[in-house]
Structure 1
Amino acid sequence: MRAKDTLGQRGEELAAIFLTAGGIEIVDRNWRCPDGEIDLVGVDGETLVIVEVKTRSSLDYGDPLEAITPAKLARLYLLASRWRRASARHYPAFRVDAVSVLDNGSGAPVIEHLKEVAL
């Protein structure tokens, strides 16, 4: 496995732990369909939460959240509707969140959670 993939998986696991500690129940991970992939799917009360996780080992290439482009965000909203149709569960509301993980492996990772990222 490539170092980038290992870092990404670690970031998703750290994000899941962080979100769970904040009261969001993780109900799906790495859900895929022909249109793309959702990193994490969570539930916050009665709200479905689609989570994009961006992990970096440094800021050399910018803040992790800068990698969420308008096109990526639009795809996440599309994927949210696909997941909702594929799931047997019903949620009255949904939102798209983003989590950045900055983890250089030498100390505690820095995690930032942005709620309700809008188009």
Structure 2
Amino acid sequence: MRAKDAVGRYGENVATRFVQDAGWQVLDRNWRGADGELDIVALDGTALVTVEVKTRRGVGFGHPAEAVTARKVARLRRLTAQWVAAHDVRPRSIRIDVIAVLVPRSGAAHVEHLVGIV
């Protein structure tokens, strides 16, 4: 596994623990649809939430959340609709969140949760 892939996998694991600790029910991880992949699909109460996880070792190339462009958001919306169509889940509401994970050289990862980016 490449170092970049390992950092991304670590960030997804951190984000999954973060939402589970918040009481969310994780329904799916790394779900692949026609337009790509959803990192995390979970229930936050009655809301279905798809979570895009962005992980970086530093901010030299910008904050991790800055990598979620308008084009990426449009793709996440299409993927979320595909996930709902493929599963027997009828949530009261649907939203897309971003979890940004910064992994320092030493110490714990820093997690920032951006709720309802669209």
TM-score range, shorter chain: over 0.9
Aligned twin of 1:91: 91
Structure 1: give runs of 5+ residues left out of the alignment.
Answer: none
TM-aligned CA deviation for residue 88 of structure 1? 1.6
Partner Cα distance (2:33, 2:105) in 1 = 32
Identity %: 45
Q: Does 1:81 align with 2:51?
A: no
Aligned twin of 1:20: 20
1:12 partner letter = E
TM-aligned CA deviation for residue 105 of structure 1? 4.2
Which SS does the other structure have where 2:12 is aligned?
Answer: helix
TM-score, reference length from structure 1: 0.96
Which SS does the other structure have where 2:43 is aligned?
Answer: strand
RMSD over aligned CA atoms reads 0.8
Aligned twin of 1:65: 65
TM-aligned CA deviation for residue 84 of structure 1? 0.1
Partner Cα distance (2:40, 2:14) in 1 = 11
Aligned length: 118
Whether the 8 Å CA contact 2:34–2:79 is kept in 1: the answer is no
20-29 or 3-12: which moved more?
20-29
1:100 partner letter = A
Partner Cα distance (2:11, 2:71) in 1 = 22
Query: Within 5 Å, which residues of 2 pair with 1:36-47?
Result: 36-47=36-47
